Amino acid sequence: MYSEKVMDHFQNPRNVGEIENASGVGTVGNAKCGDIMRMYIDVDDNGVITECKFKTFGCGAAVATSSMATELVKGKTIQEALQITNKAVMEALDGLPPVKVHCSLLAEEAIHAALWDYAEKHNIVIEGLEKPVNDISEHEEEEEY
């Protein structure tokens, strides 16, 4: 039911953890399944995302999609990262079962939430970026899960 890549990223997730004093941190949650994803990004002076880490409290597909999302985001410019859709994440994982598509949406939203936080902290507007509807960053600032 799951591709080899999904299983690989689930069993050996890349870039798990936190970034201290990250340029941007965003947390999103899916109210239906209760899964939570937090993404950290570091952005250099040229607007390139040099580092990206995540913590996910969620299903296997959520872990795999966030892992793949961090891999796709690293080394990209902000505008390029903004173009990474859940579809791109799914394609990079060789697909997901239909009932798991929402997990990849959470990964896309986590990227947007981290970018949103980065923009707010640096007082800039990222063209084309909207605050994700499932952004729950404010509700659990320092809370651990």
Asked if 45 and 73 touch (Cβ cutoff 8 Å), the reply is: no
Number of chain positions touching ligand FES (CB under 6 A): 10
| Distance between first and last Cα of the chain | 29
Closer CB to ligand FES, 62 or 82, in the complex: 62
Does residue 33 carry a catalytic annotation?
A: yes
61 is a site residue for ligand FES (CB under 6 A): yes
Alpha helices in 83-124 (DSSP H): 86-92, 101-121
Taking the C-alpha atoms of residue 54 and residue 109, their distance in angstroms, rounded to an integer, is 13
3-state secondary structure of 99: helix
Write the binding mask 81 to 120 for ligand FES: x where contact by CB under 6 A, - elsewhere: ---------------------xx--x--------------
* Cβ-proximal residue to ligand FES, closest one: 33
HSE-CB for 67 with a 13 A CA cutoff: 20
Task: Work out whether 63 is an interface residue with ligand FES (CB under 6 A).
Answer: no
Catalytic residues: 33, 103
For ligand FES, the binding residues (CB under 6 A) are: 30, 33, 35, 58-59, 61-62, 102-103, 106
